[in-house]
Amino acid sequence: MADKQPTSYAACVIEAARQVIQGAKARAVLAYVDAVPNLPQLVSIIKAPVKLVLIIRSEVDRRAAEPYTDRILEVPDFDLTRMDQIKMATLLAFSQRMLQADDTFVFLAGPPRKPCDTLVVMHVGEEYEMFQTVDQPRLTEHVKRVVFQRVLTIALELANEGREGKPVGGLFVLGNYRELEPLCAQNIINPFKGYVEKERNILDDKMKDTVKEFCAFDGAFIIKGTGVIVSAGTTLRPNIAGEPLPQGLGARHAAAAAVTASAKCISITLSESDGTVRVWRRGQIITEIEKAPRHGLAKGGLG
């Protein structure tokens, strides 16, 4: 009986979404496949022109989603709080142009890998924390979508796993290297210098562990929008200051803000102290995804 109760909650949440979609005039519905016990029920409430975006974390999810929509969003498989599941998926949906500025959308969320128990409605442009920079050019203007997603995934993996059991920090700068080059100086001998570009592309699976290992160096990774890693251990010398930082953020975050204000690029920071991953654009934080607590994920709250 206990196993059926969350499923019945999910059915009620999905049924409630029917009225919310109509009342809010939503243009899209986003849902994790593994949080929806009854996909046909969800599909039945989606009427054109409302878009259905199904979010997957595995091949099992993909097979379940494909009969219902061609808008499938693959995300990294991490245990995140409800709100951070929403933040990560929404950011990636924007990068893939599944959501647009001024869209209102409904998001179904729940505890990791359990039936949905939460319905969130957002209007892009009013949700300050997540969408304060939606009036800028699209996120992937200077960075390939797959490159952005790969670097974000690496940062989230480091946040959740650390390196050899210890927390690490990191700063990744992705974008137009012609603009970035004058703002960079090396702290150390560049470990990527001398290798042909195809051997140092972040999209090569063999590079993942290399990048994680070099996170121990002070300084930033500089990565072209195509995924080619230019350098590690790099000092940034931006010529424009970013927006004032929230209290508690230090030099790594100041550098991320300033370099994105100075050049056409995106920065991703990983805080060593608390494992929070932040994405920066034009001197501002686009969004932040907190490291999930080790205990109590299913105890409630949007987290």
Kindly list the domain boundaries of the chain, sorted by start residue: 4-131, 145-289
> Which pLDDT score, from 0 to 100, does residue 294 have?
58
Closest by CA position to 230, among listed 256, 250, 207, 253: 207
Q: For residue range 189-213, what is the model confidence (pLDDT) as tens digits?
A: 999 999 999 999 999 999 999 999 9
Burial status of residue 1 (CB atoms within 10 A of its CB: 0-12, 13-18, 19 or more): exposed
Distance from C-alpha of 199 to C-alpha of 218, rounded to nearest angstrom:
23
> Which pLDDT score, from 0 to 100, does residue 139 have?
55
292 pLDDT band, cuts 50/70/90, is low
Inform me whether the pLDDT recorded for 260 exceeds 50. Answer: yes
DSSP assigned state of 228: B
CA of residue 42 relative to chain centroid, distance: 25
Q: Which CATH number among 3.40.640.10, 3.40.1380.20, 3.40.50.10470, 1.10.443.10 corresponds to the domain 4-131?
A: 3.40.1380.20
Angle between the N-to-C axes of helices 207-214 and 145-161, in degrees from 0 to 180, rounded to the nearest 10: 60
Neighbours of 269 (CB within 10 A): 26
Closest by CA position to 276, among listed 255, 301, 253: 253
DSSP assigned state of 244: P
Inform me whether the pLDDT recorded for 3 exceeds 60. Answer: no
Q: Which CATH number among 3.30.360.10, 3.40.50.300, 3.30.565.10, 3.40.1700.10 corresponds to the domain 145-289?
A: 3.40.1700.10
Query: In this structure, are residues 283 and 264 in contact, taking their beta carbons and an 8 Å threshold?
Result: no
Q: For residue range 27-72, what is the model confidence (pLDDT) as tens digits?
A: 999 999 999 989 999 999 998 899 999 999 999 999 999 999 999 9
Q: For residue range 72-101, what is the model confidence (pLDDT) as tens digits?
A: 999 888 878 888 888 888 888 877 778 877
Neighbours of 169 (CB within 10 A): 18
Query: In this structure, are residues 55 and 31 in contact, taking their beta carbons and an 8 Å threshold?
Result: yes
Name the residue type at position 152: L
